[in-house]
Amino acid sequence: MIVTLIVACEIAFWVLLAAGLALRYGARRPRLGAAVLLCEPVLELVLLAVTVVDLKNGAAPDWKHGLAAVYIGFTVGLGHSTIKWADARVAHRFAGGPPPVKPPKYGTARAVHEWRVAGRWTVAAVTALALLQAAVWYVGGDGDVSSLQSWQRTMLVVIGINLVIAASYTVFPKREPHKDPPAS
């Protein structure tokens, strides 16, 4: 049931996103579109509540409960930037908005961009870690929480990978290709 709910939440996320943007730009109802987009966090609250109730009713914590925590964490850390990304593209394509800003390719600006991306992924992973730890405490010493702890290790790896990527752009910044002067 938890996996089905996670899939339903993911589908609902994209349906609400499409509906909110359609209302905002297609129907020219920006406030109503924003209201629909603000319903996105309700999905995660429902998933969290169902997961807690499932554990409270005696379900053994397993990978599905961990996946629910990870899904919620990633929505918290990356949901807003995903909505902004889609909004910029829909505004440009259907409402005459400016072209979406592309991330910088070179130097310090690229490094700063990568640190921001790493920050979003870190917020996602730390949120998941906190929810997983809350589940471990909630289950207590009576249950087998190894699957939840496995997800915690995975989230630490996600943080590490993102920090290494961001640091690599800082230590080894990508240089803009040298342009030769035009031949006379």
- For the stretch 53-67, pLDDT in tens is 888 888 888 899 999
**Selection from 144, 183, 164, 163 nearest residue 65 by Cα:** 144
* 176 domain residue, yes or no: no
* 84 domain residue, yes or no: yes
Number of domains present in the structure of the chain = 1
Going by pLDDT thresholds of 50, 70 and 90, the confidence category of residue 14 is very high
Q: Determine the pLDDT at residue 114.
A: 97
Q: Determine the pLDDT at residue 166.
A: 97
Going by pLDDT thresholds of 50, 70 and 90, the confidence category of residue 117 is very high
Percent of the chain with pLDDT strictly greater than 90: 78
What is d(CA 62, CA 151) in angstroms, rounded to the nearest whole number?
10
* 8 domain residue, yes or no: yes
Q: Determine the pLDDT at residue 184.
A: 61
CB 153 within 8 Å of CB 98: no
**Selection from 30, 28, 20, 2 nearest residue 80 by Cα:** 20
* 105 domain residue, yes or no: yes
Going by pLDDT thresholds of 50, 70 and 90, the confidence category of residue 183 is low
Task: Print the domain residue range for 120.
Answer: 2-171
Q: How far is CA 96 from the centre of its chain?
A: 27
* 178 domain residue, yes or no: no
* 16 domain residue, yes or no: yes
Q: Determine the pLDDT at residue 144.
A: 83
Q: Determine the pLDDT at residue 115.
A: 98
**pLDDT digit string, tens, across residues 145-164:** 899 999 999 999 999 999 99
Average pLDDT over residues 156-176: 95
Q: Determine the pLDDT at residue 139.
A: 84
* 12 domain residue, yes or no: yes
* 182 domain residue, yes or no: no
What's the pTM? 0.87
What is d(CA 114, CA 81) in angstroms, rounded to the nearest whole number?
14
Q: Determine the pLDDT at residue 172.
A: 94
Average pLDDT, the chain: 92
Q: Determine the pLDDT at residue 179.
A: 77
Examine the pLDDT at 142 and tell me if it is beyond 80: no
Examine the pLDDT at 34 and tell me if it is beyond 80: yes
